Structure 1
Amino acid sequence: MKDRLLEVPFQLAARYDVPPILMRAYFAAERAYCRARIAVAGGATDIEVGDETVRFGLSTRMEYRRARDLGGERAVIAALLNELDGTETVWDVGAGVGTYTCFVANALTSGHVVAFEPEATNRARLRENLTANAPDERWTILPIALADRNGVAVLASEFVEAGGGHHYLSTDDTGVLVQTQCGAALVSKDEFGVPDVLKIDVQGAEKLVLDGMGSLLDTVESIYLEIHREKSDRYETHPDAVEESLRDAGYTLIPLGEPTNRRSGVYLLHACR
């Protein structure tokens, strides 16, 4: 993992035409700053959105940054929470360490949130965060990548660190094998109820997840998506195809802008009925 992390400054230096030595110095300084802040915080921090307060564990730079700005999606989390009455079934597809899942689980009274997270490092922290915030009967974690077919795939990443969100399904052999599953197949086996609300953040595979839901989209009331413009090329699709699929399924699309932490190549969308 360390070798992959050391590659990142050089990749970013090439992308933004910055001397690699300056990019490495910046990363080193930021890592030191984050370690200091994590130590001061005692390895955890409480974050409030609306009426919900959630405690997140901190052990890495990415976890610290994600807790600090919620991935630039605080307003989207607030909007999702505001539409819940506590009884819903929510699927968090690409749950990571639980940035959305923990708030949702905390807000539910008799509902249930299913968190899909195929990456093992994030999944371990996700479990710790959920255990610290909500009773077991409010949540389930599945080590599954929702997609448009049932089978196995290679899960690759630019680097692996708790709190990082750079994982994707790859056609290469470098990575780990994970189970892929259509959402429709999960419901047809009576393993889980039909979701009322979906949140999807899958690094460009949004269209695959929607295709795998099939006719279930006729009953899902609300979908919050993070759309990746360039990363969708990995799956030979495009954001326009995602939006067209949603409109064809009867949704009204509400643009939610870009993340406030200025992540590039990403925009947020709410599909509702």
Structure 2
Amino acid sequence: MSSERRTPAYLPQKFFELCSDEGVLNALVDAKSYVSHNVNPIRELSKIYYDWKGGTQAIRIDGVTAEFDAESKNGGDIIRIMNKSEKFFLQDMLSELNETDVFYDIGANIGIFSCFAAQKLENGHLVSFEPYPPNVNQLEKNILYNTTDSNFTLFDIALSNSDGTIEFSSPDKHPGHQTGNISPSGQSIDIQATTGDKLVSNKSLPQPTVVKIDVEGSEPFVIEGLEDTLKSEACRVLYCEIHLPREDGGRPSVLDYGETKESMLNKIQDMGFNIEHMAERGPEIQIKAKKQI
């Protein structure tokens, strides 16, 4: 069920349209899905509580606890949602990371992966990439709740397939919004971009051992600019979210960058990875790929 308009008068009208187009049973299924995603009293009560409480919130996954700002104005509600929607990959990442690993979080947003990784990398290093200024400020704040500034590097740039200035758009100016992208649609800002291979080859960054990529459709550009680094034997695990077209066209997809789901999987395998896990979440495909070492 579309969520473009959520006024009380609109919803019954939309339901009857669905009944006419799809039949009553399918309309009821769509209505149930809409309510479960948009009408969540527990989530609303949690938001009210944390906004009143302020300070930080502790989130625990498989014995590892990370701290984040709690208030919704600082993305605290987004962190609580991502804790559930990204649970499998968070758990798997924590099981894969060693204390000496170098973890690249590409498309770090406000840091749910970065902060949990920071808790595991006692003698390793965290490198977070996030170009959107409202996210960058909150990301750094959240990371510092979980490690010292000597254990991480934060780049407020986008990784792509070339150097230069590119346009970045986001429909929301609050930290934590998850559909910002480098393909402008609507208001945009200029940001700097570079390739991951350049940063590694000129010794600006250490070679990663575990990489996570979630960049709202521009995965092909990130992987193209990081290909040599990903091919290295040292890089043993890759988590990547492949973004296919959304019905509402609300963000770019890999098709806008000349790729398909199949071609992306082939690229990952050609770099020496085996696809160990693949899960579809609507138009997003979550991939875990690992090398046999």
Q: TM-score range by the shorter chain?
A: 0.7 to 0.9
C-alpha distance in 1, partners of 2:13/2:142?
Answer: 36
1:18-29 equivalences under 5 Å are 18=11
Amino acid at match of 1:247: Q
Q: Show CA shifts across 1:79-119 (max 9, x none).
A: 11111221011110000111100011111111001000001
Q: Hey, what's the Cα distance between the residues in 2 that align with 1:20 and 1:82?
A: 48
4, 9, 30: which one aligns with 1:11:
4
State the identity %: 25
1:161 corresponds to which residue? 174
For 1:160 and 1:49, locate their aligned partners in 2 and report how far apart those are by CA, in whole Å: 29
Q: Which residue of 2 aligns with 1:194?
A: 207
Closer, same or farther in 2 for the Cα pair 1:19/1:114, shift >3 Å?
farther
What corresponds to 1:5 in structure 2?
Answer: none
Q: 1:55 to 1:258 in 2, by over 3 A?
A: farther
Residue of 95, 113, 133 corresponding to 2:126: 113
SS of match in other structure, 1:77:
helix
The CA deviation at 1:236 is 3.3
| Pair 31,82 (structure 1): closer, same or farther in 2 beyond 3 Å | closer
Equivalent in the alignment of 1:252: 274
Tell me whether 1:215 sits opposite 2:237 in the alignment. no
State the 1:167 CA deviation. 0.5
Q: Please say if residues 153 and 177 of structure 1, whose CA atoms lie closer than 8 Å, have aligned partners that are also in contact.
A: yes
Secondary structure at the aligned position of 1:133 is classed as: coil
Which stretch of structure 1 is more off in the superposition, 156-165 or 243-252?
156-165
Task: Give the alignment partner of residue 51 of structure 2, picking from 32, 39, 47.
Answer: 39
Q: Deviations over 1:235-269 (max 9, x none)?
A: 3322222111011111101224245xxxx311211
Q: CA deviation at 1:159?
A: 2.0
Q: Aligned pair in 2 of structure 1 residues 172, 165: CA closer, same or farther (>3 Å)?
A: closer
State which of 72, 90, 98 in structure 1 corresponds to 2:111.
98
1:151 pairs with 2:164: yes
Q: For 1:237 and 1:253, locate their aligned partners in 2 and report how far apart those are by CA, in whole Å.
A: 18
- Partner amino acid for 2:94? L
CA distance in structure 2 between the partners assigned to 1:180 and 1:49 by the alignment? 33
Contact residue 168 and residue 202 of structure 1 kept, 8 A:
yes
Which one is further off, 84-93 or 165-174? 165-174
Which residues of structure 1 form unaligned runs of 5+? 1-8
TM superposition score normalised by structure 1: 0.84
- 1:272 paired with 2:287, answer no
Structure 1 segment 57-136 matched on structure 2, within 5 A? 57-60=69-72, 63-70=76-83, 72-136=85-149
Name the counterpart of 1:4.
Answer: none
Q: Alpha carbons of 1:136 and 1:233: their partners in 2 closer, same or farther (altered >3 Å)?
A: same
Decide whether aligned partners of structure 1 residues 41 and 89 sit closer, same or farther in structure 2, where only a CA change above 3 A counts.
Answer: same
User: Structure 2 vs 1, CA of residues 103 and 32 (structure 1 numbering), >3 Å: closer, same or farther?
Assistant: closer
Runs of 4+ in 1 over 6 A off after TM superposition: 19-23, 29-32
Structure 1 contact 34–60 (Cα < 8 Å) conserved = no
Match of 1:48 in 2: 60
SS where residue 38 of structure 1 aligns? Answer: helix
8 Å contact 2:227–2:271 — kept in the other structure? no
Letter in 2 for 1:240: E
Offset from partner CA, 1:51-102 (integer Å, 9 cap, x none) = 3101110232753143245151112111111112210111100001111000
What amino acid is the match of 2:229?
Answer: L
Unaligned runs of 5+ in 2: 16-33, 246-252
Over aligned residues, Cα RMSD in angstroms? 2.8
Over 3 Å counting, the alpha-carbon distance change for 1:55 and 1:20 in structure 2 is: farther
Tell me the distance in 2 between the aligned counterparts of 1:159 and 1:130.
22
2:101 maps to a residue whose letter is: E
- The separation in 2 between residues aligned to 1:216 and 1:265, in whole angstroms, is 28
How far 1:213 moved relative to its partner? 0.8
For 1:38 and 1:134, the matched residues in 2 are separated by: 23
Q: How many residues end up aligned between the 2 structures?
A: 257
Residue among 217, 221, 232 paired with 2:254: 232
In 1, the alpha carbon distance for the partners of 2:266 and 2:6 equals 36
